[in-house]
Chain A
Amino acid sequence: NAGVMQNPRHLVRRRGQEARLRCSPMKGHSHVYWYRQLPEEGLKFMVYLQKENIIDESGMPKERFSAEFPKEGPSILRIQQVVRGDSAAYFCASSPGEIDYEQYFGPGTRLTVT
């Protein structure tokens, strides 16, 4: 019973490049959340998606960041024209459905912008 999967685990990008982070939820989970964690800090909510729908993007920066969760395939968090301040660990979590609030986290993608 695989847990939440994320890839890549580590990603190095130069300033101005694009970063694509992937998340496959736990089997049977249809809700996906993305969080960002800066070094020595807590997790900050970015976006909440269900299949083909963005439900809550109140934590997402207005520019350069986008997220999707297509009908088939993983959820993708995309960061365009990365800057040094984007360096962080990006965690994806999933939860089962409408009445279950428990969120289970993936191993994270550690993005380093050089």
Chain B
Amino acid sequence: GENVEQHPSTLSVQEGDSAVIKCTYSDSASNYFPWYKQELGKRPQLIIDIRSNVGEKKDQRIAVTLNKTAKHFSLHITETQPEDSAVYFCAASLGGRRALTFGSGTRLQVQP
């Protein structure tokens, strides 16, 4: 079936290190890939997104890469800070639909 797989489920890094979260998707017709950050008890917050006609996008310490051939995309956070600690979700608009299919989430812990 249509799904989005996300790894790892938990990630612990030291402050200042980089963090990488990876997702794979099943449908080659998917064309939009956002990443959300969710703090405990809060709403998911859009932090960066990428479309299928772009291979990489960067916004300050955050970058996303997309490999359409392999059907995977990754979130890269550099110079991590304790306030980056949260659950991160990848998502994809599978089959070009507007509805988003979410990964299962990665709990990122940045140790000071």
Q: Which residues of B contact A74 (CB under 8 A)?
A: none
- Chief secondary structure at chain A's binding surface: strand
A43 to B102, CA, bound (A): 6
The reply on B42 being an interface residue by CB < 8 A is: yes
| Interface status of A91 (Cβ within 8 A of chain B) | yes
A-B contacts, 9 of them at CB < 8 A, read A42-B102, A42-B103, A43-B91, A48-B99, A55-B98, A101-B51, A105-B36, A105-B45, A108-B43
Contacting residues of chain A (35-87) with chain B, CB-CB under 8 angstroms: 35, 41-45, 48, 55-56, 58-59
- Contact between chains at B46 and A45 (CB < 8 Å): no
Residues of A within 8 A of B36 (CB): 105
A102 neighbours in B (Cβ, 8 Å): 34, 46, 49
Taking the complex as formed, is B100 at the interface, i.e. its CB lies under 8 A from any CB of chain A?
yes
Assembly CA distance A66 to B103 (angstroms): 25
Tell me the minimal C-beta distance from B7 to chain A in angstroms. Answer: 13
Whether A33 contacts B103 in the complex (CB less than 8 A), given A105-B44, A106-B43, comes out as: no
Interface size in chain A (residues, C-beta < 8 A): 23
B30-51 contact mask (Cβ, 8 Å, vs A): 1 or 0: 0010101000001111100101
The interface bits of chain B over 86-108 (1 if a CB of A lies within 8 angstroms of the residue's CB, else 0) are 00010101000111111111000
The CA-CA distance from A107 to B43 in the complex, in Å, is 5
Closest to A44 in B: B102
Cα of A45 to Cα of B103 in the assembled complex, Å:
12
Chain A positions within 8 Å of B98 at CB level: 31, 33, 48, 55-56, 95, 101
Give Cα A108–Cα B105 distance, bound, in whole angstroms: 18
A41, B107: Cα distance in complex, Å: 11
Closest CB pairs A-B (n = 4): A42-B102, A45-B99, A105-B43, A101-B32
Task: Find chain A residues with CB under 8 A from B93 CB.
Answer: 101
